[in-house]
Amino acid sequence: MLGRKRTLGFTVAALTGVVLFFVVEKFLGNPFDPMDAGRKPVSGQLVGMTSDEFMSRFGGPSHTWKGHYGNRPLNRSEANSTAFTMTCVRRNGTLYLSFEEVNDRWVCFSPGWMPEG
């Protein structure tokens, strides 16, 4: 009888842990992904961050290419001809980051979040 109670207690505890993990992941984001701190990243917080700071904090990008993503803002059309873009693909969307060279460092000037679905 004691063995059956232990098994039942262990099963209930395990199921509670699994349910709790999925509830936290659903409402607070993936606890194992530093970029997914919430349901939607606040892209504006990344303006001014250097590419080295970004990669040391969040890891390497999913993709990188020369140029700015999407339609460039008119005031930056000529100034950022040397810009490059990094993307970070996550389960709930993609973060696009464009960087320009400022004082020999690559600084983010245009982050954007594209949610999935």
- State pLDDT tens for residues 79-99: 556 788 999 888 778 888 899
Question: Is a pLDDT exceeding 80 seen at residue 61?
Answer: yes
Over residues 1-12, mean pLDDT: 78
**Which of 3-12, 24-33, 73-82 holds the top average pLDDT?**
3-12
Kind of pairing between the strands at 105-115 and 63-66: unpaired
* Same domain, yes or no: 63 and 107: yes
* Same domain, yes or no: 47 and 88: yes
Question: Is a pLDDT exceeding 70 seen at residue 17?
Answer: yes
d(CA 117, CA 115): 6
* Same domain, yes or no: 67 and 19: no
d(CA 75, CA 64): 23
What is the span of the domain harbouring residue 4? 1-32
Over residues 16-32, mean pLDDT: 67
> To the nearest 10°, the Cα dihedral for 101, 102, 105, 108?
-70
